[in-house]
Amino acid sequence: KKLGIALVGLGNYATNQLAPALLQTNLCKLTGIVTGSSEKAQMWSKQYNIPQKNIYNYQNFDEIRNNPDIDIVYVVLPNSMHAEFTIRAAKAGKHVICEKPMAMNVQECKDMIAACNAAKVQLSVGYRLYFEPHHLEMKRLGTEKVYGEVKMIESSLGFSMANPKVWRLNKALGGGGAIMDLGVYCIQGARRTLGELPTAVSAQGFIMDKTIFKDIYEGMTFQMNFPSGAISNSTTTYSSYVDRLHATTGWRWFSLSPSYNAIGTAGQFFDGERKDMNFKVLDFQQIKQMDGFAESIINKQKPEASGEEGMIDLKIIEAIKQSAESGRTVKIEW
Ligand code: NAD
């Protein structure tokens, strides 16, 4: 029997990526929804054949505890709501996937991990790229030093999001704009290609349009120092499109561009000659991500994209924010 997933929050990502991906998963399927909109509830019920008994709102959500059709709760809400709904899902005895960034800060991540441990349920972060072939190849080439030791990484992600009405630009809901939303990708790309955790960060915040970006940075640039001596340089921005992960070992390099978006990834490497990475571009990266989590539940193994992985990135983001505010390099202890 496939594990049943309930999506919490039926916005863009749930509608356009997760629900269609769940039509193609092998080990899990969409069996429930949690929404504040009765119109959406009716539409989804029809489209995905979801019985009324498996439809919840944010108030009666905790009753999901009594529903055997639902094994996994997938939290796809604004960032400020991740911790609350993850903890409520754990208390209802359900395994949880929580979207990125895992939470607003490290303390929330700790509380979420503790709640899942106490309830003996598994917790995963919606890190689809942990299962994506180009990204797994970057990790292999870097950590196995196939082209030698990686010295420099460039890892950046940005798109245009100059709309003050969206929750992403609201500090209380998004947690601080591009660095929260996109920073997790730049960080995970660099640290996973190196197989190391950064020990220091320096960051700079910038605002180009002060009429829109009032209490959050429009973007940030930041540098991370790694124990091997490697350095990474990143830009996260809501003002223009950039999407790339580039690792260099000297004169040889391997690279993804686009790298992080969900629509497609393309890779190249240079070893005297420029060659393409020949991996299939997945229609929905989330299929492997959700089946991967279902597999770890079935086999009672720690998930690849665990809560601890999500917390690592929040810890680095906290140091980045601190550095941008103080204008100093911030050390990170692990
Ligand atoms: P969205 O704005 O399209 O959807 C958010 C949903 O939350 C909506 O259905 C909205 O009605 C609901 N909601 C409930 N309470 C709300 C409130 N107080 N304010 C605003 N909305 C509220 O956003 P999205 O793009 O679907 O993002 C949702 C989550 O998924 C975010 O955490 C985001 O970072 C993450 N996400 C991840 C990926 C990925 O590739 N892994 C891609 C996109 C989004």
Interval 67-118: pLDDT, tens: 999 999 999 999 999 999 999 999 999 999 999 999 999 999 999 999 999 9
Asked if 141 and 108 sit in the same domain, the reply is no
pLDDT in tens, 206-224: 999 999 999 999 999 999 9
CATH number where 230 lies: 3.30.360.10
What phi, psi does 3 have (nearest 5°)? -70, 140
Report strand pairing: 267-270 vs 253-256: antiparallel
Average pLDDT, the chain: 97
Domain count along the chain: 2
Q: How far is the CA of 13 from the centre of ligand 1 (A)?
A: 7
pLDDT in tens, 314-323: 999 999 999 9
- Cα angle 301, 307, 310 (rounded to 5 degrees) comes to 135
Asked if 139 and 236 sit in the same domain, the reply is yes
Residue 170 is given by DSSP the state -
Residue count of the chain: 334
Which whole number is the average pLDDT over 284-288? 97
Complete DSSP assignment for 66-77? G-TT--EEEE-S
Residue 147 inside a domain? The answer is yes
Distance CA 328, CA 203 (A): 8
pLDDT reading at 280 higher than 90: no
Q: Is the CB of 167 under 6 A from ligand 1?
A: yes
Structure tokens that stand for 251 in this block: 């004169």
Specify the pLDDT at position 221: 98
Q: Which domain holds residue 194?
A: 132-282+314-331
| 119 SS3 class | helix
Asked if 121 and 145 sit in the same domain, the reply is no
Asked if 70 and 41 sit in the same domain, the reply is yes
Q: Rounded to two decimals, what is the model's pTM?
A: 0.98
Whole-Å CA distances, 161 to 126, 223, 240, 290, 310: 21, 23, 8, 28, 24
| 270 SS3 class | strand
- Name the domain boundary from 126, 148, 163: 126
Q: Is the CB of 9 under 6 A from ligand 1?
A: yes
Asked if 158 and 233 sit in the same domain, the reply is yes
Specify the pLDDT at position 4: 98
Contacts of residue 132, Cβ cutoff 8 Å, sequence gap at least 6: 265, 282, 285, 288
pLDDT in tens, 33-77: 999 999 999 999 999 999 999 999 999 999 999 999 999 999 999
From 74, 147, 185, 260, active-site residue: 185
pLDDT reading at 263 higher than 90: no
pLDDT reading at 164 higher than 90: no
Cα 189 to its chain centre, rounded Å, is 11
**Which is nearest to 293 in space by CA: 98, 118, 12, 48?**
98
Q: How far is the CA of 126 from the centre of ligand 1 (A)?
A: 12
Specify the pLDDT at position 163: 87
Q: Is the CB of 157 under 6 A from ligand 1?
A: no
